[in-house]
Amino acid sequence: MQGRCVPCPQPTSQHHKVQVLSEDEVVVAMMDTARGWIRTCRSLCVLTGAGVSAESGVPTFRGPEGLWKMRDPMSLATPEAFAEDPKEVWEWYQWRRRKIRGCAPNAGHVALAAVEAAKTDFLLVTQNVDGLHRAAGSRRVAEIHGSIWGIRCTGCGAERYEQGDFTDLPPRCGACGGLLRPGVVWFGEMLPREASGAATDMLTRCEVLIVAGTSAVVAPASGYAALAKRHGARVIEVNPDETPVSRICDATFRGKSGEVLPSLLG
């Protein structure tokens, strides 16, 4: 039996070599595979969260800048907080709007805008309200949590986009005198019907889903990767940390989206 491996009947000279890859080589191989999935798929969906804007300097809810005037920002992003103290909620939004105004899209946003042009069936589903995907050139975007630049009247329902500061807080509607509110989705509120409908449609038909920069804990977006997977999509995650989505992913890249997305999509 010498010269042969058992139970394989081929002489060792003709036998394939079993390669032990280093961790870096595994990542490179996985990157090549994932790039192939993205390049050849007809239908591509991307789900993003606050992490894709981290390298642009957008303050997160939970990071060190999350503390605002010793208030928990999570407790300010609710309809109850607005009903109780609209001025304080507006002061916080005005503070966030000022911060975001000084932020520019990063290489991750730019790579996502570029891949859109190469795909006939594409949707970028974002939980971010900062508008940086559109600023980078993305057009097929479903902003499922609304936009921090959107303003809605709680009286007459009029909506508009407004990038400037308000001098008097809380601002009031010029037409009906009602309180104006930020056009974002607060905890406990329904998602905008059009954006969430477009997102679920795409998640049930996409061949590849990239999930980038989201902790995947805020519903319903936390269930989007599983939905796509159930409908046969390959799921790719880009996040420096493990998330609940990681275990159902076909490929995972542990890095910053501003670095990983340009390699993955370039």
Chain positions 51 to 70 lying near ligand NAD, rule: CB under 6 A, are: 51-55, 58, 60-62
- Residue 23, burial from CB neighbour count under 10 angstroms (0-12, 13-18, 19+): exposed
Q: Is 235 helix (H, G, I), strand (E, B) or coil?
A: strand
Residue whose CB is less far from ligand NAD, 171 or 243: 243
CA atoms of 26 and 241, how far apart (whole Å): 18
Q: Which does 50 bind (CB under 5 to 8 A by kind): ligand NAD, Zn ion, none?
A: ligand NAD
Chain positions 145 to 174 lying near ligand NAD, rule: CB under 6 A, are: 145
Q: Is 149 helix (H, G, I), strand (E, B) or coil?
A: strand
- Site map (CB under 6 A) of ligand NAD, residues 226-255, x = contact: ------------xxxx-x------------
Identify which range of 26-34, 44-52, 157-165, 225-233 contacts ligand NAD by CB under 6 A. 44-52
User: Cβ of 134: how many Cβ atoms within 10 Å?
Assistant: 18
Q: φ and ψ at 211, to 5 degrees?
A: -110, 115
Q: Which does 230 bind (CB under 5 to 8 A by kind): ligand NAD, Zn ion, none?
A: none
Find the shortest distance in angstroms from Cβ 98 to ligand NAD.
14
- Residue 56, burial from CB neighbour count under 10 angstroms (0-12, 13-18, 19+): buried
Angle at 155 between CA 153 and CA 158, to 5 degrees: 40
Residue whose CB is less far from ligand NAD, 11 or 244: 244
Are the C-beta atoms of 233 and 206 separated by less than 8 Å?
Answer: yes
- Site map (CB under 6 A) of ligand NAD, residues 119-148, x = contact: --------xxxx--------------x---
Find the shortest distance in angstroms from Cβ 195 to ligand NAD.
12
Q: Looking at 20-143, list the stretches that DSSP marks H as alpha helix, in order from N- to C-terminal side.
A: 23-40, 51-54, 73-76, 79-84, 86-101, 107-117, 132-136
Chain positions 145 to 164 lying near Zn ion, rule: CB under 5 A, are: 153, 155-156
Identify the residue among 202, 214, 233, 236 touching ligand NAD (CB under 6 A).
Answer: 214
User: Cβ of 114: how many Cβ atoms within 10 Å?
Assistant: 16
Q: Considering 15, 133, 145, 231, which one is annotated as catalytic? A: 145
Q: Is 133 a catalytic residue?
A: no
What are the residues binding Zn ion (CB under 5 A)? 153, 155-156, 173, 175-176, 178
What are the residues binding ligand NAD (CB under 6 A)? 49-55, 58, 60-62, 127-130, 145, 212-215, 218, 238-241, 243, 256-257
So which residues are the catalytic ones?
145
